[in-house]
Structures are given as C-alpha cells and as structure tokens.
Amino acid sequence: MPLMIRALGADDAEAYRALMLEAYGAYPQAFTSSVAERAAMPLSWWQKRLDHPLDRLLGGFDGEQLAGIVGLAFEPREKARHKVTLFGMYVTHAHQQKGVGRRLVEAALLEARQHPRLKLIQLTVTAGNDAAIALYRRCGFIQYGLEPLAVRVGVEYFDKLHMWRELTP
C-alpha cells in the first residue's frame, strides 16, 4: 500500500479532528475522551494540540486521505523525561488489516528513537482489543500491568492493559 506517513501540523487540524471524532465514535471504550466532549472543542483547540511542543502526532495518508493516526506524548517532568507515551492510535475501518497500524507504530518508534534521552515507550490498550494487543506485541511491547475499571462507557467499565518496550537504537 502506498502509504505516506508524516508529522501532522496545524494545517491538518480539520482532518485530524474528523478522524479522531470517528475513532471516539467507533471505539468509545478505547479512548478516555468522548465524541461529545471533543466535538465541542473549537478547531483552534485541535490546531494547538498539533502544535503542542510535548506532543508529536503522525498521520498515515492514502493519497490525500488521512487513513490513520498515532501520537507520542513526551514527559515534561525532569525525572520522567526518559519516557514517552504512545497514544491516540487509530486506523480507519477501510484501512484496517492492511498493515497501516504496524507502519504507524513503527514510525512512532523511529520518531522516539530520534530523541537520545528516551529509554522507553509505554502505552495503554483496552483489555479485549485483541487485534491492537497483538499488533503491539508484534512491535515488541510487553504487558506490565492492568488498570481495572479504567474507562466507563455508559454503564459498562473497561480495563486497560499497560504495556512498554525499551527503545533500542
């Protein structure tokens, strides 16, 4: 698949917003934010998110279409600056099962390795999301914990697995 992966900037805010609102709606148990709370945010909020100095968002483009997204959140605190968190992973339904998710995770790992102070990357994934868990395991992540009742959607609660991997050069 001729997928181009690049960093997103403020000019990508509309596409990023649309993709994330789709993600929140399609997989509400996978994200802490809800469609309602994020849809209420003005476009300027999304632009600031893309320009935030401690976040790096990567998009996978199929032509002009944003097909997937992944983010890296860098730690601002001195004693935790050796860690980065992978967040906001989503691939559109039309692009799933085509290797887009793997390419996005690999691009995030490559980006993280560009920062010599970073030693590890961590993430959370909803328990029961077998496809995502398998992807992260294929990319070298291992589970180190479980957060019970991490997210509530309606009357249901979902646990989150905590995973990590070392960033080797």
**pLDDT confidence of residue 169:** 66
**pLDDT confidence of residue 142:** 98
Give yes or no for residue 168 having a pLDDT over 90. Answer: no
**pLDDT confidence of residue 107:** 97
Whether this prediction's pTM lies above 0.85 is answered by yes
Structure confidence by residue, pLDDT tens digits, 129-166? 999 999 999 999 999 999 999 999 999 999 999 999 99
Three-state SS string over the chain comes to: CCEEEEECCHHHHHHHHHHHHHHHHHCHHHCCCCHHHHHCCCHHHHHHHHHCCCEEEEEEEECCEEEEEEEEEECCCHHHCCEEEEEEEEECHHHCCCCHHHHHHHHHHHHHHCCCCCCEEEEEEECCCHHHHHHHHHCCCEEEEEEEEEEEECCEEEEEEEEEEECCC
Structure confidence by residue, pLDDT tens digits, 31-76? 999 999 999 999 999 999 999 999 999 999 999 999 999 999 999 9
Give yes or no for residue 1 having a pLDDT over 80. Answer: no
**pLDDT confidence of residue 31:** 94
Give yes or no for residue 104 having a pLDDT over 90. Answer: yes
Domains of the chain plus CATH, in order, are 3-166 (3.40.630.30)
